[in-house]
Every structure is written in structure tokens, then in C-alpha cells.
């Protein structure tokens, strides 16, 4: 894993712009604490910050290929190619010579051998740039599911790019501006592929590449979900899912640095931890390390709500004991969650105030603690999107709604179980009228539906559930992948997501909905495929989202902070707020689950917007 950035300019000599390149690259230091590298040519400048995971000594970047004394290809690369050993063997047989043991060099030679078609051969998570000095052309490539981020900013004579917006914003020609559409994207709870919120900036879409040449930019999709006939019966399907998981986890255990798993005690993370424990034991590398987040006193005083029926702790401990894991709970308190330094680090990691508040901060703190013992972690992220794990997959009110199903649910039930009115609830009506979040959501929903592949002869139920699955795999999971990538890379921790392997995603996407729910429950295929690895209590546990603190002192603390903000006449967010609504939220009675009728999410969004406007100097043009 790493941080990448660069600048292509066909009208300038970039060899004289190393200071600017160095400033852009420095913003990626969190993603790559182990080494820095710069490469410049007349019209290309590439920067790299390295997190060393494979081939510690030989994998330095930017990396190039020379022939006859000339550079024919250079890359700045982030991610992991899990099938790089097979590709290396094939390329060696075709006459390619390698000087390192890194997957980065394999990517270079794969492009030289197969051109742009090399993307079809890659299995992994990656975002990288390839500069071809012969053609004076740049290629930006992002993995199929969008696990690794990659942003770009077209200029009159080329392009700027980076793993995160902050790399591009470090260029003196770029101002952090956000218009009404950008603010709608920020608030609407639908991550539109390609949209970067900042005006003039874009994100390379998952499964896409962007070509940059003297004539401009062109985007090309090299992968997407397709509708195919599923001919396997249920037993065969379960076996195939297990075969895929065995292979996927085995590949993702490859690392030259300490490795661990994220363990919540849910089905997804438990399955990954159990598979990792078996794989490491077979290789003589055990036991598996595992980590879980908890809040001080929460397991002992846990109160069930509409989203979380049980605390994570007992289930995580049961799985850890079952597989013999070296397990550690990372226990956080309200003081840590409210620490200004931690909240500042969380905002800087994201470059945007997504409004998940303490959930973002606790994830950052979890990863910060893990980084002291491991460099790579395996996560159960995206299993719910792949296998149909959320409660709303099984709620006709949500699946039948004329919008994204999670939005239908959140309009009725807030993040902590009580209707909250949305993260935007404290914004002024005039601001909301300009942004028009519901119209934006409706337009994005129609766009997403128009992309869904269908098969002739599918029943109405099958057709609709294919749409629901597609929406989650292309719109919802991007929130979670982006959140996890930023929080982990902010502390130099590489998080791998086995359930995002495109072979598994393609296979399960095309299994009939009746097969995905064959036992009458959510995630039937995953449960059946890993049942032999898990304690019964863990296998049967009902889905519980990432934990949130129930400490009323946290709610009281953010209410107090909102009162201070409202008293500050110079607070940049003040013109955006409905002052009366904000005062009611700030002064409302705090409960275990939230504040002022569960306005915790809107309060956190208001505070986050203010911190973002201050920290980034954002120009809002509504």
C-alpha cells in the first residue's frame, strides 16, 4: 500500500517543478511512512510515498523499466496484486526479466506485454499511474471494486492526480471550491461513481482507467457487473463460495510484514479470521492476531437498540478462543473520542466531513492502536453488500421504495434507531432549498438503475433484488471502502478486503435471490460456506453494525461544543445553520443513544462542516 501523486503538463518543463511535486507528495506521507520517491521528466512528474509490505528492499518507487538505456515505462503504484506470482511466472516464460520480487514490477511488465488489456489479468486492490515516455501518455488505473482511491483534476494542458484530494489541493493552481452539487453529494448519502465533491476534481471510477494525452482525457471501463445465468444448485454454490474464500484468503495472507485481522464477532469478520487462522497455521505462521474495538464500560452496560441487539465483545472473544487467536480489545473512552488532535486527524484523513462523527474517530483510533503491532489487516468489509446482509434487504418497505433502500430506511429510522431527520437536519432551509438533496438523490437513483444488467425471463422479485444488490455493490459499499481506506492509511495500516475479490462478487451477484436466502435468513450462502469454522453462537448471530458509543457524556460533550460554536459569530458554518434548530439540539436532553431526539448525527455534521471550512479554507458557491 502507498500514496501516489503526479502532474502531467504538456506545455511546461516539469523538471523545474520538483518543489511543487515534493509538496504534493508530502501530503501522502501518512499513506507511506517508509520511503519517499520522486521522478521527473519534461512533461511528467510522479511522486510516491511507500508503505513497504512486499519486497521490502527492492520495491522502491517510482519504478521504471529501461531498455537500451532509455526509460520505456514508469509507475507510481498503490495496492496489492494478489496473483502477481503467477503473472510473474507467465511473463518470465515470455522473456521478461525481473530485478525485484515486487508486485509493482509485475504490473509494469504486464502492461508492456499486454497493453491496456493487462487490467483483465490483475487480481487485487490497486490504484496506479503509468507514464509511457515513448507515447507521452499517462494511464490512471483503479481496481474493479474501488478499494483503493484515485483522484484526478484536469488542467488546460494535462492533469493532476493523487490517492487523496489533499495531494491535488497541495498544487498552487487548485482552490478547494464546492458548489451546490458538491454539497449535495456530501450530504445525500449516495456515493456517485466519479464524483469527488470538490469542484473540478473527479475520482477514477471503480473498474475504469483514464487515458491522458496531448489531445485530452478519455475514460474507459474495463470491468463491470454482468448478468449471467447461474446453473449451480445450492449445494454446489455453497461449495464454490467456500473454494473461492479459501483461495482468496490464502492469497491475501501474503506479506513480508506482521499481519492481523479485524474481528467484531459478526459472521463476516469471524469467517475471515477463522480462514486466516487455518491458513497461517498450515503455513507455520500462526497464531492469527485479531483486534476489536470497544468502549469503556459498554459491554457491561450495553443497551440494545433498533440496529444493535448485542454487544460485539462476547462474540469476538468466543471466536478468538475457538480459533486460538492472539486477540486484543482496543478500548476507547469519551476523552479519546473528543480529543481535538484525534478529531483533526480524522478530518484530515477523510478530506471531507462525512458526518459519521465518533464512528470515524473510533475507527481511526482502532487502526492507530493496531499499527503498533501489525502493518496489514484483513477485514470482513463488503460481505453484507455481496451476500445481502443488511436488514433492509429483507424489508419490502425498503426494497419497494422509489429510492436507494438505505435512504428509505434512514428516512424512517436514524443511525442509532430513532428518526433524526438526516445529517442535514440543522442546516438552514434556504441552504437546503439550494442544495435540494431529495432531487439529487432521485437523479442519482435513476442513473444507477439505468446501469443494472438484467437477464431475460427473470421474475419481478429476482429483477428487483438484482437491482438492490447492484445498488449496494456500486453505491453503498463505496462509503465503507473509502472510510476504511482513509482511516487505516492515515496511520500507515494496509487493510485488505477479501470479500471484494471480483471473482466472488461476480459469482454471488448472479446467484438467485432465493438461493442467497435459502435458509430463511440473511447471508445464507456465507453462513453455510463457513459454518464448520465457527462457534454456533457466532454463526447464528444477527447482523450488528460497527459499534457506536452509548456514553451519554459523549453526547453532552458535542452538545456543549455546538453551544460554543453558536456563540462564535465568526464560525464559518454559522451562515449555513438553522440557528433555532441548532439551539434546540444543543440544549436538548441527552439520552444514552443520542441527543435532543437523537440529533447526534446532525450535531456531528454541523461540527464537522465547521472544522472542514476552517481547516481547508473551502469556498462554498451555492
> In the numeric block, which cell numbers belong to residue 275?
480462514
Whether residue 500 lies in the annotated active site:
no
* Cell representation of residue 313: 465483545
Q: How many CB atoms lie within 10 A of CB 236?
A: 10
**First-to-last CA distance in the chain?**
37
Cβ distance 99 to 92 under 8 Å? no
- Pair 622, 432: CB distance under 8 Å: no
Q: How many CA atoms lie within 13 A of 602 on its CB side?
A: 27
77 vs 2, 164, 266, 563, CA distance in Å?
7, 14, 33, 45
Answer whether the bond into residue 332 is a cis peptide, omega within 30°.
Answer: no
- Tell me the C-alpha distance between 387 and 607, whole Å: 35
Counting beta carbons within 10 angstroms of the beta carbon of residue 420, is it exposed (0 to 12), middle (13 to 18) or buried (19 or more)? buried
Which candidate in 2, 30, 469, 500 is catalytic? 2
| CA atoms of 240 and 247, how far apart (whole Å) | 11
Bridge partners of residue 485, in order along the sequence: none
Residue holding cell 459569530? 569
For residue 585, the cross-strand partners are: none
Q: Report, in this order, helix, strand and coil percent for the chain, each rounded to 5.
A: 45, 20, 35
Q: Are 595 and 558 in contact (CB under 8 A)?
A: yes
Cα separation, 164 vs 368, in Å, equals 19
- Give the C-alpha distances (Å, rounded to integers) separating 206 from 182, 222, 454, 473, 486: 20, 9, 20, 11, 17
Selection from 380, 120, 78, 52 nearest residue 248 by Cα: 380
DSSP-derived 3-state class of residue 621: strand
Peptide bond into 356 cis (omega under 30): no
Residue entry with cell 511507500: 50
- Cell representation of residue 202: 473527479
Distance CA 250, CA 253 (A): 5
Q: Where are the beta strands (DSSP E) in 222-334?
A: 259-262, 289-295, 326-332
Other CB atoms within 10 A of residue 224 CB: 14
Which cell numbers in the block locate residue 604? Answer: 456531528
**Sole residue written with cell 435512504:** 407
Instruction: Name the residue with cell 490497486.
Output: 126
Nearest to 250 by CA among 283, 287, 284: 283
At 504 the three-state DSSP class reads helix
Distance CA 587, CA 579 (A): 12
C-alpha–C-alpha distance, residues 473 and 478, integer Å: 8
Cα gap 81→120, rounded to integer Å: 12
| Cell (9 digits) for 588 | 436538548
Active site positions, annotated: 2
Amino acid at each position: 500500500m502507498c500514496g501516489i501523486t503526479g502532474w502531467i503538463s504538456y506545455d511546461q518543463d516539469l523538471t523545474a517543478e520538483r518543489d511543487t511535486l515534493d509538496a504534493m507528495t508530502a501530503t501522502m506521507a501518512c499513506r507511506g511512512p517508509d520511503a519517499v520517491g520522486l521522478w521527473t521528466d519534461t512533461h511528467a512528474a510522479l511522486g510516491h510515498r511507500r508503505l513497504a509490505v512486499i519486497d521490502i528492499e527492492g520495491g522502491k518507487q517510482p519504478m521504471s523499466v529501461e531498455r537500451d538505456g532509455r526509460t520505456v515505462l514508469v509507475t507510481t503504484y498503490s495496492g496489492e496484486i494478489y496473483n502477481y506470482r503467477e503473472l510473474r511466472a507467465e511473463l518470465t516464460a515470455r522473456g521478461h526479466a525481473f530485478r525485484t520480487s515486487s508486485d509493482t514490477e509485475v504490473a509494469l511488465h504486464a502492461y508492456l506485454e499486454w497493453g491496456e488489456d493487462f487490467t483483465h489479468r490483475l487480481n487485487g486492490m490497486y490504484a496506479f499511474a503509468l507514464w509511457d515516455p515513448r507515447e507521452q501518455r499517462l494511464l490512471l488505473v483503479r481496481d474493479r471494486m474501488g478499494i483503493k482511491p484515485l483522484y484526478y483534476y484536469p488542467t488546460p494542458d494535462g492533469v493532476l492526480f493523487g490517492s487523496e484530494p489533499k495531494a491535488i489541493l497541495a498544487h498552487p493552481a487548485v482552490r478547494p471550491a464546492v458548489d451546490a452539487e458538491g454539497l449535495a453529494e456530501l450530504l445525500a448519502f449516495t456515493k456517485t461513481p466519479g464524483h469527488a465533491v470538490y469542484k473540478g476534481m473527479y475520482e477514477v471510477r471503480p473498474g475504469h482507467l483514464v487515458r491522458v494525452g496531448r489531445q485530452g482525457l478519455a475514460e474507459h471501463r474495463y470491468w463491470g457487473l454482468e448478468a449471467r445465468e447461474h446453473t449451480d444448485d445450492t449445494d454446489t454454490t455453497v461449495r464454490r463460495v467456500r473454494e473461492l474464500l479459501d483461495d482468496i484468503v490464502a492469497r491475501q495472507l501474503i506479506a513480508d510484514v506482521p499481519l492481523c485481522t479485524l474481528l467484531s464477532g459478526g459472521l463476516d469478520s469471524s469467517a475471515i479470521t477463522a480462514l486466516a487462522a487455518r491458513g497461517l497455521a498450515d503455513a507455520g505462521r500462526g497464531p492469527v492476531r485479531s483486534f476489536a474495538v470497544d468502549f469503556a464500560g459498554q459491554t457491561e452496560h450495553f443497551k440494545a437498540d433498533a440496529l444493535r441487539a448485542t454487544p460485539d465483545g462476547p462474540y469476538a472473544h468466543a471466536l478468538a478462543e475457538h480459533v486460538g487467536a492472539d486477540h486484543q480489545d482496543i478500548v476507547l473512552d469519551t476523552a479519546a473520542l473528543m480529543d481535538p488532535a484525534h478529531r483533526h486527524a480524522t478530518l484530515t484523513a477523510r478530506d471531507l466531513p462525512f458526518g459519521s462523527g465518533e464512528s470515524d474517530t473510533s475507527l481511526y483510533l482502532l487502526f492507530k492502536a493496531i499499527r503498533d503491532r501489525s502493518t496489514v489487516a484483513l477485514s470482513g468489509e463488503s460481505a453484507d453488500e455481496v451476500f445481502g446482509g443488511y436488514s433492509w434487504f429483507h424489508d419490502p418497505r425498503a426494497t419497494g421504495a422509489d429510492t436507494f433502500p438505505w435512504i428509505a430506511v434512514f428516512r424512517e429510522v436514524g443511525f442509532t434507531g430513532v428518526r433524526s431527520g438526516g445529517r442535514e437536519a440543522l442546516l438552514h432551509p434556504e441552504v437546503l432549498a439550494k442544495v435540494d438533496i431529495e432531487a439529487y438523490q432521485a437523479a442519482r437513483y435513476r442513473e444507477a438503475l439505468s446501469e443494472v444488467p438484467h437477464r431475460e425471463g427473470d421474475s419481478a422479485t429476482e429483477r428487483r433484488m438484482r437491482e438492490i444488490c447492484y445498488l449496494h455493490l456500486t453505491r453503498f459499499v463505496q462509503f465503507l471502502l473509502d472510510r476504511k481506506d482513509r482511516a487505516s492509511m492515515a496511520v500507515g495500516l494496509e487493510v485488505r478486503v477479501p470479500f471484494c475479490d471480483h471473482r466472488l462478487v461476480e459469482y454471488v451477484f448472479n446467484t438467485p435471490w432465493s438461493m442467497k436466502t435459502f435458509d430463511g435468513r440473511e447471508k445464507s450462502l456465507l453462513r453455510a460456506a463457513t459454518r464448520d469454522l465457527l462457534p454456533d453462537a457466532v454463526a447464528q448471530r444477527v447482523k450488528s453494525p460497527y459499534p457506536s458509543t452509548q456514553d451519554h457524556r459523549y453526547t453532552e460533550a458535542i452538545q456543549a461544543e455546538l453551544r460554543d460554536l453558536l456563540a462564535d459569530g465568526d464560525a464559518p458554518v454559522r451562515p449555513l445553520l438553522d440557528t433555532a434548530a441548532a439551539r434546540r439540539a444543543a440544549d436538548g436532553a441527552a439520552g444514552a443513544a443520542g441527543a435532543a431526539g437523537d440529533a447526534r448525527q446532525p450535531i456531528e455534521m454541523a461540527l464537522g462542516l465547521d472544522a472542514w471550512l476552517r481547516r481547508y479554507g473551502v469556498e462554498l458557491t451555492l
